[in-house]
Structure 1
Amino acid sequence: MATRIDSWIWAIRLTKTRSAAGAACRAGHVQLNGVTVKPSAQVAIGDRVTVRQGSRDRIVEVTGLIGKRVSAPVAAENYIDHSPPPPPREVLASIPRRDRGAGRPTKRERRELDRFRSGALLVLAAVAVLGLSACGGDGTADSVNETYEPRTGTGPDFERCGGLTADEVVKATGVPGFELAVDNPSTCEWRLNADRNPSVSFNWYRGSPIGRERGTEQLSRDMTEDYEIDGQPGFIAHTGPICEIGVAWDADFIEISVHLATSTEQLKSTDEICQSAKRLTETVVKGAS
């Protein structure tokens, strides 16, 4: 019996509606045996299905083929759950959140958040100094070191789109047809068509410490690790068809994102996708002034 993947993930209750299951497939949030698939893809016994749910991946093994919605106990008989445990509440609580649909913070919002955090640090520092003065005996605080504050504007001056061109994106990814679809002072995005999948993007954040972005990536990607280029610290993170690299200069950072593997013609391994992201990052960093 053949079963469509959108019907199956809806039947086992991974999505609330079948239309939501189809939308998840079209958005690239569903993988079959490690490959992003369309709603019409067929599942078979033994297949492994990954569904992105917010910042968490549900990974299940197919043990039964059903195409109709069933109760939770019956649904559980048709799959084996291999999903990693959710992150601790402490980690979730430490990640800043925005209202659904609000998008990334604007530059003004980032500045306001940094001012708030700077004020909070000053209050904490003052409390610490008072505490040491009360307990030190001689009332001095000479041993208290000043708290280092990451500075904004210490990064190089990047050209528009980080200096990248559509030809360089095509050369780095090995996928022909990319054209510039979004072009503004902080973000550029190249696409093959009207959809954002596949896509390559360059983002330039001023006054936004990279730690917040890395924390978000650690919750949403399969792997996140340190990455350095020309002495500048950063991170590289990937999951399936997506690979992202961030490089920091104090409180500024850039991020290169490559999202491929949407069809057989453009199918690439995660390692190939990350190599593309590294080539683009090197081009941007070494070409900056």
Structure 2
Amino acid sequence: MRIQSAIALAATLVVALSACGSDSGDSTNAPIRPPRKVAALGPFVGECGHVTDDEVRATAGVPQISQVRRNSVGCNWQSAGLGSPSVTFASYRGSPIARERAWVTTQGRSPETIEVAGRQGFQALEPTGTVCDLAVQLDDDFFEWSMQTGRTTGRVSPCDLMRKLAELTVQRLK
């Protein structure tokens, strides 16, 4: 009985393995997939967009703002207190800027196309004028500066302030 079971099992394995390994040369049944796109790395934007804490304080016009988060893809500066100003920098490798533009649109902001030092991007100001997202395309990458003015509203648009930081980042690309 064991021999018959072993022979039947071996025959089943031979048939199964020969079906998996057969190459009849007919590739019409094979799924056709486009080759994967490999994103070319854009220029290095550095930690925090190559911008110092003092430059963020001076540009944002918020002398009491401090860095509260710093990692390989972004930085965040905040002022103390509920509803106080904040500034954020983020870098996105191999990510489509169009996705970020679409997300900003879903947040009630209307992106407008801009150019920063010869680079295309967008800025989107919240209708109340208290939040701005400004993104700049770098080959297959992009970076974004964002500001929330909090309860304090100045005479200058947060997009104008974020543009100054974006210009510094582009000037210092490596």
For normalisation by structure 1, the TM-score amounts to: 0.45
Structure 1 match to 2:85: 198
Please say if 1:268 is aligned against 2:154: yes
Q: What's the CA shift string for 1:222-275, capped at 9, x where partnerless? A: 321101122221110110200111111232110000110x33xx3225x52111
After superposition, the Cα gap between the structure-2 partners of 1:250 and 1:150, relative to the gap in structure 1 and judged at 3 Å, is farther
- Cα drift, residue 196 of structure 1: 7.7
Inter-partner Cα distance in structure 2 for 1:215 and 1:202: 18
Q: Percent identity?
A: 31
Which amino acid letter does the alignment assign opposite residue 246 of structure 1? A
Q: Gapped runs of 5+ residues in structure 2? A: 1-31
Which amino acid letter does the alignment assign opposite residue 190 of structure 1? W
Q: Gapped runs of 5+ residues in structure 1? A: 1-121, 126-146
Structure 2 match to 1:175: 62
After superposition, the Cα gap between the structure-2 partners of 1:272 and 1:150, relative to the gap in structure 1 and judged at 3 Å, is farther
Which amino acid letter does the alignment assign opposite residue 61 of structure 2? G
Inter-partner Cα distance in structure 1 for 2:51 and 2:81: 20
Which amino acid letter does the alignment assign opposite residue 278 of structure 1? R
**1:189–1:199 contact (8 Å) kept in structure 2:** yes
The two structures, once aligned, show a CA RMSD in angstroms of 2.3
Inter-partner Cα distance in structure 2 for 1:288 and 1:194: 34
Inter-partner Cα distance in structure 2 for 1:170 and 1:278: 14
Largest Rg, 1 or 2: 2
Q: What's the CA shift string for 1:123-158, capped at 9, x where partnerless? A: 4x6xxxxxxxxxxxxxxxxxxxxx9x57231x2112
Matches for 1:113-192 after TM superposition, within 5 Å: 123=33, 149=37, 151-153=39-41, 155-192=42-79
User: Paired residues, what number?
Assistant: 141
Q: What's the CA shift string for 1:56-106, capped at 9, x where partnerless? A: xxxxxxxxxxxxxxxxxxxxxxxxxxxxxxxxxxxxxxxxxxxxxxxxxxx
Inter-partner Cα distance in structure 2 for 1:231 and 1:150: 24
Inter-partner Cα distance in structure 1 for 2:60 and 2:137: 23
Inter-partner Cα distance in structure 2 for 1:287 and 1:243: 22
**1:221–1:238 contact (8 Å) kept in structure 2:** no
Inter-partner Cα distance in structure 1 for 2:102 and 2:118: 21
* Structure with higher RCO (Cα < 8 A, 6+ apart): 2
Matches for 1:73-112 after TM superposition, within 5 Å: none
